């Protein structure tokens, strides 16, 4: 089958997801990363609709993209205006890109009930707009909005929209399942009907409202579409856009269709996590191909299966998408999982049957107190070390105290301007007991500062270690503030990252335990 061109709209349609708000710099970084993934087209934004996007295209002129063409998005001309003087079209033509996409309605009801204009007028807007942008020397894609809904209600008009766009010179017409309501059979039928009437290159743009966006996109390719639009991690409004992270390996590994190189594909997981980080969203661990759990094994039976045959419970070699197999330590684990896990982590201590059993009991006990080692492997490794009778910790916690005080200024109605957080900690290192105090930006930060103050005298290299993520999960949610609180933190020394866990009914104590584990882990690793 023909190769497929990938068209990413994370920066425009993806940003419509609730909770996402990209800065211009975020968008520039993501564009660079999409280029590294071998994406063919990157839709950067809608310069006609907001000043942030104008700035993006301005600054994007300095990007050096190897694989990708940047695309500016906009709509067809205003109903009562002319294309040549339409502000939105001019913004597109002046965006400094070679490729633009404009969207227009391709459903009778949308034109008459939402746009509230005549059907012929809509066709005129589409044709004029495409012709004008083509006359400015641009490659023009036309997004036929609501195409599939329109086709089902009144096929003839929707097909006419495509034909009009093609005749006006569109370089491609993208059929949109805007409301995400189509099923694959409907996609295939409609694409076939278009191909009977026009030879214009076709694209597909799906939304995931029926949990079928990936299937619909793949079905459209089978039916002859050669451009697929989607977003990284399937970000997008409502239930999201078609997820390129599943579509790309689906096309390449499942359907044998050329779209990105093997090297590009192996960057998929990295790019997916990068985008979620920039979007300030926790990566969904359960997402296909790129999720942390996508190739993880929890049940004892599965673990014994993969020991005999690595592919027994995985559908592809995870390395193809830049991921890896992973065994999860959890209360469902058998002794075998613990051994497998310790081996996987390259622990040099022997984990024989009896020791593993003891460890398993410790894991179970800790989990009943709210600890969980999924996602906190450094704490698990510490547990392995602590199970050894001869283990000497680099420091041990004695006690701590935290004070948070907020005074409202009499004149202010807007929160506290004099919030003070202080911590005092007592830590034992060898025979010495250190007693320190520090202020901080919040109670956990104050604890972090005080703990470091105590330890830096003995371990100056700790200065390199930085707290880079802090997550809180409330367990037993029905009990409100009296619930068990689990804190997961991530630390980095600039080279590697590691994760630890702490749990308590007291959020400060849980944070303190995770923090201490994080520093202890690093000292342990650096020692020899």
How far apart, in whole angstroms, are the C-alpha atoms of residue 385 and residue 434? Answer: 24
Among 63-71, 80-88, 192-200, 328-336, which window interacts with a copy of itself (CB under 8 A)?
A: 328-336
Q: Provide the β-strand partners of residue 101.
A: 73, 141
Pick one of 98, 358, 408, 435: the residue that binds a copy of itself (CB under 8 A). 408
The b-or-e profile of 440-472 (16+ CB within 10 A means b, else e) is beebbbbbbbbbbbbbeeebeebeebebeebee
Q: 226 burial class (0-12, 13-18, 19+ CB within 10 angstroms)?
A: middle
Q: Does 509 bind a copy of itself (CB under 8 A)?
A: yes
Pick one of 124, 330, 336, 387: the residue that binds a copy of itself (CB under 8 A). 330
Q: Cβ 135 to a copy of itself, closest distance in Å?
A: 27
Nearest alpha carbon to residue 484 among 461, 464, 512, 503: 503
Q: Does 106 bind a copy of itself (CB under 8 A)?
A: no
Structure tokens that stand for 156 in this block: 């003839």
Among 55-63, 124-132, 311-319, 345-353, which window interacts with a copy of itself (CB under 8 A)?
A: 311-319
Q: How many CB atoms lie within 10 A of CB 113?
A: 9
The b-or-e profile of 145-175 (16+ CB within 10 A means b, else e) is bbbbbbbeeeeebbbbbbebbbebebbbbbb
Q: Cβ 166 to a copy of itself, closest distance in Å?
A: 26
Say what the alpha-carbon torsion angle 252, 253, 254, 255 is, to the nearest 10 degrees: 30
Torsion 456-458-462-464 (CA) sign: positive
Q: Cβ 458 to a copy of itself, closest distance in Å?
A: 19
Q: Which of residues 122-151 bind a copy of itself (CB under 8 A)?
A: 149
Q: Cβ 514 to a copy of itself, closest distance in Å?
A: 11
Helices then strands, counting H and E runs in the chain, come out as: 18, 16
Pick one of 33, 160, 267, 297: the residue that binds a copy of itself (CB under 8 A). 297
Q: Cβ 152 to a copy of itself, closest distance in Å?
A: 11
Q: Cβ 322 to a copy of itself, closest distance in Å?
A: 16
Q: Residue 2 or 439: which CB sits closer to a copy of itself?
A: 439
Q: Which of residues 332-391 bind a copy of itself (CB under 8 A)?
A: 332, 372, 374
Q: Which of residues 427-466 bind a copy of itself (CB under 8 A)?
A: 440-445, 448, 466
Q: Which of residues 41-100 bind a copy of itself (CB under 8 A)?
A: none
Q: Which of residues 149-178 bind a copy of itself (CB under 8 A)?
A: 149, 178
Q: Cβ 258 to a copy of itself, closest distance in Å?
A: 17
Among 2-10, 161-169, 246-254, 454-462, which window interacts with a copy of itself (CB under 8 A)?
A: 246-254
Q: Residue 51 or 309: which CB sits closer to a copy of itself?
A: 309
Pick one of 44, 104, 180, 203: the residue that binds a copy of itself (CB under 8 A). 180
Q: Which of residues 480-499 bind a copy of itself (CB under 8 A)?
A: 480-483, 485, 489
State the pairing for strand pair 497-504/432-440. unpaired
How far apart, in whole angstroms, are the C-alpha atoms of residue 98 and residue 93? Answer: 9
Q: Residue 350 or 415: which CB sits closer to a copy of itself?
A: 415
- 507-526 vs 443-456: helix crossing angle, rounded to 10: 30
Pick one of 2, 258, 416, 463: the residue that binds a copy of itself (CB under 8 A). 416
Q: How many residues bind a copy of itself (CB under 8 A)?
A: 119
Pick one of 64, 137, 309, 350: the residue that binds a copy of itself (CB under 8 A). 309
How far apart, in whole angstroms, are the C-alpha atoms of residue 487 and residue 474? Answer: 9
Pick one of 36, 55, 63, 109: the residue that binds a copy of itself (CB under 8 A). 109
Q: Does 1 bind a copy of itself (CB under 8 A)?
A: no
How far apart, in whole angstroms, are the C-alpha atoms of residue 518 and residue 528? Answer: 18
Q: Which of residues 208-237 bind a copy of itself (CB under 8 A)?
A: 208-212, 214-216, 218-219, 222, 237
Q: Does 331 bind a copy of itself (CB under 8 A)?
A: yes
How far apart, in whole angstroms, are the C-alpha atoms of residue 175 and residue 180? Answer: 12
Structure tokens that stand for 18 in this block: 């609730």
Q: Which of residues 13-52 bind a copy of itself (CB under 8 A)?
A: 16-19, 21
* Whether 503 contacts 369, CB under 8 Å: yes
Pick one of 59, 98, 358, 407: the residue that binds a copy of itself (CB under 8 A). 407
Q: Residue 198 or 330: which CB sits closer to a copy of itself?
A: 330
Q: Does 305 bind a copy of itself (CB under 8 A)?
A: yes
Nearest alpha carbon to residue 379 among 345, 405, 355: 345
Q: Cβ 388 to a copy of itself, closest distance in Å?
A: 14
Q: Residue 167 or 399: which CB sits closer to a copy of itself?
A: 399
Q: Residue 349 or 468: which CB sits closer to a copy of itself?
A: 468
Q: 475 burial class (0-12, 13-18, 19+ CB within 10 angstroms)?
A: middle
Structure tokens that stand for 439 in this block: 């202020």
Pick one of 36, 313, 493, 526: the residue that binds a copy of itself (CB under 8 A). 313
Q: Residue 342 or 447: which CB sits closer to a copy of itself?
A: 447
* Whether 519 contacts 465, CB under 8 Å: yes
Residue 124's φ and ψ, nearest 5 degrees, are -65, -40
Torsion 175-140-103-33 (CA) sign: positive
Pick one of 79, 469, 497, 525: the residue that binds a copy of itself (CB under 8 A). 469
* Whether 173 contacts 202, CB under 8 Å: yes
């Amino acid at each position: 089958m023909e190769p497929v061109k990938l068209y990413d709209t994370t920066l425009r349609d993806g940003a419509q997801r609730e909770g996402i708000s990209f800065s211009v710099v975020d968008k520039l970084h993501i564009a660079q990363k999409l280029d590294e993934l071998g994406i063919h087209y990157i839709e950067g934004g809608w310069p006609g609709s907001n000043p942030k996007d104008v700035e993006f295209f301005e600054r994007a002129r300095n990007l050096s993209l190897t694989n990708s063409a940047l695309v500016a998005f906009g709509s067809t001309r205003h109903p009562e205006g002319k294309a040549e003087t339409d502000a939105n079209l001019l913004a597109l033509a002046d965006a400094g890109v070679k490729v633009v996409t404009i969207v227009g309605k391709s459903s009778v009801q949308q034109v008459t009930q939402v746009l509230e204009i005549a059907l012929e007028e809509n066709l005129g807007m589409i044709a004029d707009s495409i012709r004008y942008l083509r006359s400015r020397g641009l490659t023009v894609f036309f997004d036929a909005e609501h195409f599939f809904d329109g086709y089902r209600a009144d096929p003839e008009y929707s097909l006419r929209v495509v034909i009009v766009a093609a005749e006006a010179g569109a370089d491609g017409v993208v059929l949109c399942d805007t409301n995400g309501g189509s099923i694959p059979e409907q996609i295939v039928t409609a694409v076939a009907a278009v191909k009977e009437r026009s030879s214009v290159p076709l694209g597909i743009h799906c939304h995931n409202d029926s949990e079928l966006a990936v299937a619909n996109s793949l079905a459209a390719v089978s039916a002859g579409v050669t451009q697929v639009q989607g977003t990284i991690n399937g970000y997008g409004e409502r239930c999201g856009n078609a997820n390129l992270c599943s579509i790309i390996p689906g096309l390449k590994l499942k359907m044998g269709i050329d779209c990105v190189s093997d090297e590009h594909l192996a960057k998929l997981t990295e790019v997916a996590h990068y985008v979620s980080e920039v979007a300030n969203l926790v990566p969904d661990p359960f997402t296909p191909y790129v999720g942390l759990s996508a190739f993880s094994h929890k049940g004892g039976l599965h673990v014994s299966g993969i020991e005999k045959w690595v592919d027994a419970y995985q559908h592809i070699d995870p390395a193809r998408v830049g991921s890896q197999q992973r065994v999860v330590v959890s209360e469902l684990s058998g002794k075998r999982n613990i051994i497998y896990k310790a081996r996987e982590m390259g622990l040099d201590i022997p984990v024989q049957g009896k020791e593993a059993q003891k460890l398993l009991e410790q894991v179970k006990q800790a989990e009943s107190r709210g600890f969980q080692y999924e996602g906190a492997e450094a704490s698990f490794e510490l547990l392995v070390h602590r199970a050894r009778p001869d283990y000497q910790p680099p420091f041990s916690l004695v006690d701590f105290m935290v004070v948070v005080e907020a005074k409202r200024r009499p004149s202010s109605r807007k929160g506290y301007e004099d919030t003070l957080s202080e911590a005092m900690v007592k830590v034992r290192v060898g025979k010495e007991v250190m007693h320190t105090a520090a202020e901080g930006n919040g109670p956990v930060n104050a604890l972090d500062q005080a703990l470091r103050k105590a330890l830096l005298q003995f371990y100056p290299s700790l200065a390199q270690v930085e707290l880079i993520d802090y997550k809180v999960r409330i367990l037993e949610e029905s009990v409100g503030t009296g619930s068990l609180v689990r804190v997961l933190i991530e630390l980095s020394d600039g080279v590697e990252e590691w994760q630890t866990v702490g749990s308590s009914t007291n959020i400060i104590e849980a944070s303190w335990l995770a923090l201490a584990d994080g520093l202890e882990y690093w000292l342990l690793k650096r020692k020899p």
